[in-house]
Amino acid sequence: MFDFTLDATDGAARAGTLVLPHGTVRTPAFMPVGTHGAVRGLHPDEVRRAGAQIVLGNTYHLHLRPGEDVVRQLGGIQRFMHWSGPVLTDSGGFQVFSLEGLRKITEDAVTFTSHVDGSLRALSPEKATEIQWALGSDIAMQFDHVVPGQATRELAEEGMERSLRWLERCRVRHEALQDGGPACQALWPIVQGGTHEDLRRRSLEGILTRGDWSGIAVGGLSVGEPKPVMHRILEHLAPILPPDRPRYLMGVGFPDDLLEGIARGVDLFDCVAATRNGRHGSAWTATGKVNVRGATLKLSGAPLDAECDCETCRTFSRGYLRHLFVVEEILGLRLVSIHNIRFLVRLGEEARRRILEGTFNDWSRAWLARYHGGEAA
C-alpha cells in the first residue's frame, strides 16, 4: 500500500509507479476531477475508458451535498460513484479560502457560509480529516491555508506557517481515526509559501520533520501568479523534494502546464479545465484549441482530432459535434469532455513513454512548439 517506485528519470522528469489500496497509477498522470462524486457530465465507465487511473473528489462539495455520512452509508466514495479505482480527495482548503467575504479564518478553523443554502459551516484540520476518512478516499489531503498568487510575503508566510501547524493537527486526527488498523488511506501534506523560494523551502523542511509521508503535494500555484513564477518555484523544489515520493501539483492544468510540470519533476496533476472547456465546446488538439461551435466545422466529416484515439474522435464527425453544440444537445458537452480528458491522459502516457526512453526533453519541446504555433489555433 502507498508504495512508490521511480521507474526512470530524464533530466528532472520522472516516470513512476504508485500503488494505492484501489489500484496502481503509472506516472506522470492526470487525474480528472469528480467534484460532486461524478466527473462532470461523464459516466465513470467513460472516464475509465479514457484511460484515467485515479479521480479526484472534492471534500467541500461532498460535505455539503450529499454529506459524508450519506456517502459512507452508501458504501464509500468508490461504490457511491461506481469508480473502482483509486480516489484522491482534496481537503476543502482551496474552496473555503476562495469564498472571499463569506469566510472567517481563525487558528482553530475556517467558518464559512455554504454556497448551497447559506448555512454557517466550519472546516478545521480535524473536520476535513474526518470528512475524508468517512468518504474513504485512497489519499486524503491536509487542510491548508491557501493564499492568492499575488499575496504579500507576510500573508504567504502566515499561510505557510499555519498550514504546517494544521498539518500536525491533521496527522494527529488521521492517526486516531486509523486507530492502529491497516493503512487504508494516506494523508499527504501540502507545500505552501506563495511565490517565495525561501518560504517554500521552509514549508518543505517543516513538512519533512513532521512525518514520513507517502506523497507530497505542492499547493498555492496556478492561483493568479505568472506562469514563469510557477516554473521557478517548481524548479526550486525539484531537487529538494524527496525523490522517492510522488509529487502532486494541485489544480494544474492545461496541456502545456502538464508538460512544463513534468519537465520540473511533477508526477500527478488535476484540473477541471478538461471538463469545463469541454462543456463550453473548446477542444484541445496537438495543434492547439478548436472551437467546436466554429462555422468552419459545419460540413466536416473529419474527427475532432485526427491524432486522437478517444471514443469521440473514433466515432463522430466535427460536423455532428458542432451541430450538437448549436442545438444545445447535452451529448455534445459529454463528447468533447471525453476527448479533453483523454487528451490529457494520453499526454501523460506519452510523456511517460518518452521518459522511459530518455527522449522526453526533445519530444516535449517539439510538442509545445507545435501546440503553441499550431495550425488549429
Half-sphere exposure of 73 (CA within 13 A, CB side): 5
Active site annotation includes 270: yes
Q: Which is nearer to its own copies, 317 or 361 (CB)?
A: 317
Cα gap 162→158, rounded to integer Å: 6
Cα gap 238→98, rounded to integer Å: 27
Find the catalytic residue in 10, 257, 270, 305. 270
> CB neighbours (10 Å) of residue 307?
11
Q: Which is nearer to its own copies, 35 or 113 (CB)?
A: 35
- Tell me which residue has cell 522511459: 356
Active site annotation includes 309: no
- Provide the minimum distance between the beta carbon of 30 and its own copies in the complex, in angstroms, as a whole number: 20
Q: Which three cell numbers, joined as nine digits, stand for 137?
A: 478516499
Output the CA–CA distances (angstroms, integers) from residue 177 to 78, 80, 182, 308, in the order listed: 19, 21, 11, 44
Q: Which is nearer to its own copies, 240 or 299 (CB)?
A: 299
Find the catalytic residue in 90, 144, 257, 305. 90
Closest-CA residue to 141 (of 248, 257, 20, 35): 248
- Provide the minimum distance between the beta carbon of 324 and its own copies in the complex, in angstroms, as a whole number: 6
Contact set with its own copies (CB under 8 A): 36-38, 40-43, 61, 65-66, 70, 73-75, 80-82, 298-299, 301, 315-317, 319-320, 322-324, 326-327, 329-331, 333-335
Q: Which is nearer to its own copies, 26 or 72 (CB)?
A: 72
Q: Which is nearer to its own copies, 42 or 146 (CB)?
A: 42
- Provide the minimum distance between the beta carbon of 100 and its own copies in the complex, in angstroms, as a whole number: 23
Closest-CA residue to 144 (of 251, 44, 230): 251
Q: Which three cell numbers, joined as nine digits, stand for 361?
A: 526533453
Q: Which is nearer to its own copies, 299 or 377 (CB)?
A: 299
- What are the phi and psi torsion angles at 36 (to 5°)? -100, 30
Q: Is 284 helix (H, G, I), strand (E, B) or coil?
A: strand
Contact between 89 and 140 under an 8 Å Cβ cutoff? The reply is: yes
Half-sphere exposure of 132 (CA within 13 A, CB side): 36
Q: Is 36 helix (H, G, I), strand (E, B) or coil?
A: coil
Cα gap 279→273, rounded to integer Å: 10
Where in the sequence numbering do the catalytic residues fall? 90, 270
